[in-house]
Structure 1
């Protein structure tokens, strides 16, 4: 089912629950679209109300992006951080809209992001922790340039993260992802971190692991 009345285009899968369903919002990667992650929605717990969102910036010839990337630049200049912050705030506002529009539980919101969508999932959770409960961050990393300055003094005690990465990732180096556990430790955030012997993608065993994690946390 497609939805366009909210600020971001999206497609949905209804929950088996008529009200107060746990909400899962999917955020795709650079150059993809809302159909990408949604392809495995049918394999996820049926009580989840699932929304897969389309990023706001068209990327010719087809696909979309949450923000511009300069693939030739060093890490510090890799991302358009102004656009990234705008998309972070767009997603945060979209969460509020979705809670108003659909029969979901505002206290049980999970973000599931891949790559660029994963980077923004981290940023939304660490900037607007009151809006989310769980994060599934696949093949991403924490971009500290799009986090609030007071991140070290905030209370993130209720958050839970599942983080995974391919050890042979040729797009986002696994060394960037390996900075995530110590950073989450420093913020006293609960998390699980896994690596799989794949490139920039989600291996079947990775899918089964995060699905089980989701079942235990929604």
Structure 2
């Protein structure tokens, strides 16, 4: 049994299908990114997961975002690390449960789901091949203190952000490709003239990138 609720779109392949796991943003659910599924390559086995913490009146979160006078806006890092572990465990579960290729796993995240996708791939790189990081950033306080460059050298990242994002400033996102390049990781970073969302051209570009990397 999985600890996370999820929905699937099976692959046209009967075995060794490339696996795509979707991680939604703060206050959303598994149906959000799943709207992309019908437009993505048919050979992908797609799973969209729901974050573990229900919000009121609706939606879910991977970790709490707190607001107070002293610290302003801050992330619950211990809770985030719990969710990093849950996603890591879910990758294992999915690979045992479905006819997928354990060496061809892609994480697709949006916003908070992107922050965790960065963290999962850099913490458990042996479980991930590709990351599509939409409208998020690298939160270094969620990463291991030491990252072994040899373990992460196979990773590939597609990173994108809205140039007028009012939720996560674009300059936070711009640090990601610098960080990844410093680690010797293959990555692309593109900005689009939108806010906190995925522009049609952004989707077109991520789809083309994904087709070349699965």
TM-score range, shorter chain: over 0.9
Q: CA distance change for structure 1 residues 80 and 176 in 2, over 3 Å: closer, same or farther?
A: same
Distance 2:77 2:120 in 1: 14
* 1:110 has 2:106 as partner: yes
Aligned counterpart in structure 1 of residue 200 of structure 2, from 201, 204, 217: 204
Distance 2:25 2:182 in 1: 27
Q: CA distance change for structure 1 residues 58 and 200 in 2, over 3 Å: closer, same or farther?
A: same
User: Cα deviation per residue 1:147-199 (whole Å; 9 max; x = unaligned)?
Assistant: 00112655311000000000000000001001111101110000010000100
* 1:186 has 2:186 as partner: no
Match for residue 156 of structure 1? 152
- The two structures, once aligned, show a CA RMSD in angstroms of 1.5
Give the length in aligned residue pairs.
Answer: 214
Displacement over 3 Å in runs of 4+: 71-77
Deviation at 1:77, TM superposition (A): 5.8
* 1:138 has 2:138 as partner: no
SS of match in other structure, 2:81: helix
* 1:97 has 2:105 as partner: no
* 1:84 has 2:86 as partner: no
Could you tell which deviates more after superposition, 21-30 or 145-154?
145-154
Q: CA distance change for structure 1 residues 74 and 192 in 2, over 3 Å: closer, same or farther?
A: farther
User: Cα deviation per residue 1:56-96 (whole Å; 9 max; x = unaligned)?
Assistant: 00011011000001256798961100000000011001000
Match for residue 20 of structure 1? 16
Match for residue 29 of structure 1? 25
Distance 2:136 2:211 in 1: 22
SS of match in other structure, 1:91: helix
TM-score by length of 1: 0.95
Distance 1:166 1:205 in 2: 11
Stretches of structure 1 lacking an aligned partner (at least 5 in a row): none
User: Cα deviation per residue 1:89-130 (whole Å; 9 max; x = unaligned)?
Assistant: 110010000000001000000000000000000000000000
Match for residue 166 of structure 1? 162
SS of match in other structure, 2:151: coil
User: Cα deviation per residue 1:24-58 (whole Å; 9 max; x = unaligned)?
Assistant: 00000000000000011000000000000000000
Distance 1:49 1:89 in 2: 22
Aligned counterpart in structure 2 of residue 215 of structure 1, from 202, 211, 214: 211
